[in-house]
Chains A and B, each alone.
Chain A
Amino acid sequence: MFNIYQPQKAKLISISQESSETTLLRLQFTDKRFQKSFNFSPGQFLQIGLLGWGECPISICSSPSVSDKYFELAIRDVGQLTHKLNSLTIGDEVWLRGPFGNGFDMEKFSGKPLLIIGGGCGFIPLRPLIQDYMAGKIKLPKLQIFYGCLNEDTMLFKKEYPAWNRNSEFAITLEKPSNRWKGARGLVTALIAKRDIDPGSVAIVVGPPIMYKFVIKELIKKKIKPQNIYLSLERKMYCGNGVCQHCAIGPYYVCKDGPVFCWQDIKNIPEVI
């Protein structure tokens, strides 16, 4: 019987410092056949662990359309395990389970203008979606990307901005930038208010819990329907199989039914956002 809790070993093949607190780890399963068959969709997550340090859920932040030889995880240093993961070096090994959950179902979005809204490190699961679009895997009449960050130091994936600028309407706003910052200031909600948004757009929103309420309010003002708003929720995902109960919200499990939910389906669940 297959053990659903058995993790697979992966090796760290490269590291890049994305921000002062976030590291981008490029990983490869040591079992070559497993790596070759490792398929996932944007929005899904993995449980990453170190022996003796437990496991934690991390969104996958690369797309299989970029390479089937590796995958990437961006890890923010916020706790004991993520601190340890941030101090690994090339060649070190980690243990992974997954992918888990339902990612972004692109069939539902195709043919409609897409608006991607990310806040802080919530932007991480959105990157594979953008990569798929840039690789021509997703056909969209229009792509808008709005990204809200605290300051210049917390901006992720900076090297990719030129390509995003060329191929989409990409806008970034900083809440507390330095004096040198010449771009937009303020919260991502202000970007939504200012920009032209097609009411027939599908909106995908990922960010810290506090962001959702305000962003959804703005989107509704722009006449976007609740059934066209998708969120990726964060809870304490643990077993990955909808059993251990840690990530339950109302009738659902974030690890199994989510993490991507349609706002229409969850808006009546108390304290869901």
Chain B
Amino acid sequence: MKSKQFQKFLENLKDDFLFYAPKKTESGLRIEKISTISEIDFSGAMPVNTWKQLFFVHGEKVFDFKDGSIVENKIEAPLTVAFGINVLDLRATTLYEHVFEEDVYYQKRRNSTLIIGYSDSWPIDFKKYKIFSHDFQKDILRHLIFDVFIAKVKKDEFIFFAGSKTGQNILEKYAVGDYKNVEYIGSSPKTPLDKKMLSLQAKMAKSADKKIWDDLGKICIACGKCSIACPTCFCFDFEDSSDPDGQGRKRKWGNCFYNDFSKMAGDFKTLDTVKQKIYFWYVHKFVRIPREYKMPGCVSCGRCNKVCPVGIKINEVLKKI
């Protein structure tokens, strides 16, 4: 497809959907709702914020309390396009697809959202990203969940891939006849599993006594910015409000760096020190997620490095475990 037709395709989508895409703003490249196609950034650079905000909404009301009963809040999710998700962020959204498989609220939003991945070169051409947490698969698209993926392979040539029936239907609807179907075969190759992921998992599992955790315990201020910025952090809390104006149960993003995260009866906390908290964060990324979902829990997006006020660099930490 040529640039002109590609522009037309985007215009059509824009007319029919709420359209989220990376956009240059005063506070950096951000995923935002756009009003014209010209606002989209096609560089493939890593946005400051993450796509998780679209599917896993902070502060979402999950239940209403009505006449002494608890009633599921039926979310009205508007038809939305999430356009321009780069391959690393698609790894994170793919993880979410597995994590929230049984979550009605996530599914409601996901089912009304079209996930459109994009790369400004062939998807395998990943050299612009510094990947330190996993192996980059040659057949990367087969390990990602998306509806449509578009690769700009030459200055004036775009190749389309459909990753789902919904994606196929959309491409047919907008008369993109020339596309390839890609079948999702799982988040990682089965044999052998991602070697880098496995090696980090094994190292992490044995690293509890390493000096790095004492060092980080002294430097880290447990501000929790890395968790907020991380596309694979998904912990949450429920919060009840008995306020007569807005009675109900809400779901809020959690944060393992905050003191109430592990607080139990009698104010007893299992994560009491900063060292315990930051170790817990790394175990989630490099032990629990690989064990449970057979995929890396860190996509090497580097967002945590950028937001950390004390300069902790995840890629440097991993060298010391």
Query: Which A residues contact B (CB, under 8 angstroms)?
Result: 1-7, 9, 49, 51-56, 76, 78-79, 82, 93, 95, 209, 234-236, 238-239, 241-246, 248-251, 270-271
Cross-chain contact of B62 among A5, A52, A53 (Cβ < 8 A): A5
Known pairs A246-B254, A248-B288, A250-B283. 4 more at Cβ < 8 A? A235-B270, A245-B284, A251-B205, A251-B283
A–B pairs, 18, beta carbons within 8 Å:
A4-B104, A5-B62, A7-B70, A51-B70, A51-B247, A53-B240, A56-B265, A93-B68, A236-B263, A238-B237, A243-B100, A244-B236, A245-B254, A246-B237, A246-B262, A248-B283, A250-B287, A270-B208
A52 touches B242 (CB 8 A): yes
Say whether B164 faces chain A, with CB atoms less than 8 Å apart. no
Closest chain B residue, CB of each to CB of A121: B265
Inter-chain CA distance A249–B254, complex, in Å, is 17
Query: Within 8 Å CB of B283, what residues of A?
Result: 248, 250-251
Query: Within 8 Å CB of B9, what residues of A?
Result: none
Query: Within 8 Å CB of A244, what residues of B?
Result: 235-237, 254
Inter-chain CA distance A248–B103, complex, in Å, is 19
Inter-chain CA distance A234–B249, complex, in Å, is 24
Secondary structure class of chain A's binding surface, majority of residues: loop
Contacts A3-B104, A244-B254; A51 near B292 (Cβ below 8 A): no
A251 touches B291 (CB 8 A): yes
Closest chain A residue, CB of each to CB of B99: A243
Shortest distance in angstroms between B204's beta carbon and chain A's nearest beta carbon?
10
B103 touches A251 (CB 8 A): no
Closest chain B residue, CB of each to CB of A77: B265
Shortest distance in angstroms between B40's beta carbon and chain A's nearest beta carbon?
33
Inter-chain CA distance A54–B250, complex, in Å, is 10
Closest chain B residue, CB of each to CB of A56: B265
Cross-chain contact of B235 among A5, A82, A245 (Cβ < 8 A): A245
Say whether B121 faces chain A, with CB atoms less than 8 Å apart. no
B264 touches A251 (CB 8 A): no
Query: Within 8 Å CB of A78, what residues of B?
Result: 265-266
Query: Within 8 Å CB of B292, what residues of A?
Result: 242
Shortest distance in angstroms between B250's beta carbon and chain A's nearest beta carbon?
11
Say whether B115 faces chain A, with CB atoms less than 8 Å apart. no
Shortest distance in angstroms between B264's beta carbon and chain A's nearest beta carbon?
5
A245 touches B263 (CB 8 A): no
Contacts A6-B70, A245-B254; A79 near B65 (Cβ below 8 A): no
Inter-chain CA distance A95–B276, complex, in Å, is 33
Query: Within 8 Å CB of A4, what residues of B?
Result: 102-104
Contacts A1-B107, A4-B103, A271-B270; A239 near B208 (Cβ below 8 A): no
